[in-house]
Structure 1
Amino acid sequence: MKFKKEIIVGFTVLLAIGLLAWGANYLKGTNLFAVGKSYYVVYPKVDGLAEAGPVMYNGYKVGTINEIYFHPSYNGTIVVRFSVNEKGLKLKKDAIATIKSADILGTKAIDLHPGISQTVLQPGDTLAASIDKTLTEEVNAQILPLKVKVESLIGSLDTAITKITSVFNEGGDLDESFASIKRSMQTFEKTAKRIDTLFKNESGNIAGIIQHVRGISANLDKNGDKLTNVIKNFSSLSDSLAAADIAGTINNTKKAMEQLTGIMEKINRGEGSMGMLMHNDTLYRNLAAASRDLDLLMEDMRLHPGRYVRFSVFGKKDKNYKGDAKIKYDPQQGKTN
């Protein structure tokens, strides 16, 4: 009987120890009765990842981190062993285990991306590693551009303040600057008053000008048809000018002018009859002599027609021909005397 009690007490103690061990591991996230597949990941750093941490897939816990230790090669990398308890989740050859923040407090977890390869990983295989940015890194990434802009703005403000200070403090002429502004405002006020006075004095003329403008506008409105006809006529004239062969006319005129220029050049060189007449007095003298002889002939025919016409009604005899005694040619005058 006493032996039976000792067995019961021992069994109870062992059961309590077992329950205590199971409870401790359960609190750590390790289910001693769950059968899972173990995998490995090698990270350059773990950013606070701890054993018994969750292994997630699309926000759902599918496993637990079992062990974290340095790589046996002592190259500074860290090995993480975790187990997956979900039988339906199959990790492929291109699966990735990413360390990320599980909550806003920064608790780290492993987030699985199963991959799309046709090759399925076996328990004990190693997955590719990835590390998401921490909350601090993301905040810094967002704040860094703002920080750069703020620093640039502060630098610009500092430069502007320096320039303003140098302008106002240079030579101590701040009062003079304000006085100049005041004088400018006074001048503007005087100008405005003069313009106002001018409009008041010339209001009648301005009204007349406006009335004339209205009259002109009314006349234009009344004579709209005539203006339309005038515009059409101008358009027709423009079309006619455009259709006319102005270029050909200009070319013909140019050719005629060139020919006339050639003729004048020949005359100036003494070529041709006109050139000889202009530059050689022999032809002129011959023409003058011929003209003189013709003049003498006509004068002789007038005085002695009988010499040339042998007919007389009354049978009178012609007077004796006395030659050229009374007919003289003046070469300077170009006529007979």
Structure 2
Amino acid sequence: MNQGRLNYVIVGSFVIVMLVALVVVLAMLTGRTGSTEAYYTHYEEVSGVKYGTPVLFAGYPVGQVEDVEPEYEGGNLRFRVTLGVTEGWPIPADSIAEVKASGLLGVITIDIREGHSEATLEPGDTLDGRPAPNLFASVASIAGVAGELAERDLRPLLGNLNTLIVSLNRITDDNAPVILGDLQAVSGRINDASETVIDDLTAVSGSLRANMNRLSSLLSDQNLQHVNQVLAGVDSAAANFSDLSSDLRGTGAELNRLLSNLNAVVADNKLDVDRTVMDLRFSMHAIAERIESVAANLEGTSRNMYEFTRQIRQNPASILGSARIPDTDR
């Protein structure tokens, strides 16, 4: 009797241990190994998202979906998803909760893509949600586009190609003898001209050989030495030009200093310069007022000089002596 009770105790203890182990394993698989904090996100479509859906952070399990609730906002339906995340887990404020699937038939998960913000979300805040791409909808859209393309473009194109091929067959059937005759005539002309072409090629090859010989003579050692000397002279000229440019830069610097000194002199003697300009303006004004009388005197003087030179040309001896001036003229 005691042996039977002992067996029952052993079996019961084993069952209890297995149940506890099963609960622990299930908790680890669902990510519920400790206290969690609630965060929220919104999606327009939640296919495959339900209670217990794993929540990952950059691929690492940090919790699970706690609840999915429909909401109406402005007449549009969307779903608020409650995420249970391990307590104390930091989530940057610009993180994105994206619905992902490991494959075509894989498990749906919500992967939180880590942001770059230094600020972190508080429990109860809302993350930006991004739905999973609908592969079947994309394939159906591509199939529709392909069908429309085949119906609208490929079928008329095939019809045009068929018509073109029929036309080409008809043309070749009607003109094949003529084309063959022309080809035979062309081949005969090519045969006749082949000898001339060969002679021309031979002459061209001879000219090329002569030119190569001339080039070889131009590239002799002596000519190469001359070329090296010319290049050395060019290098020397470049060095001299560099020195000249340095001298020109020094001259430019001297001119700049001279201009600076002139500006300083003008600035220091501005009053004297202004006074000189005023005096010059007064002098020019006085000359302008008397210019007419000066011009008249110059004109009279020029006339007298003209008369004097005319008399000298007519009578050069008048320079040595002159006729007595009548008293009446006095």
The TM-score with structure 2 as length reference comes to 0.45
Q: Which has the higher helix share?
A: 2
1 or 2 for the larger relative contact order (CA 8 Å, sep ≥6)?
2
* Structure with larger Rg: 1
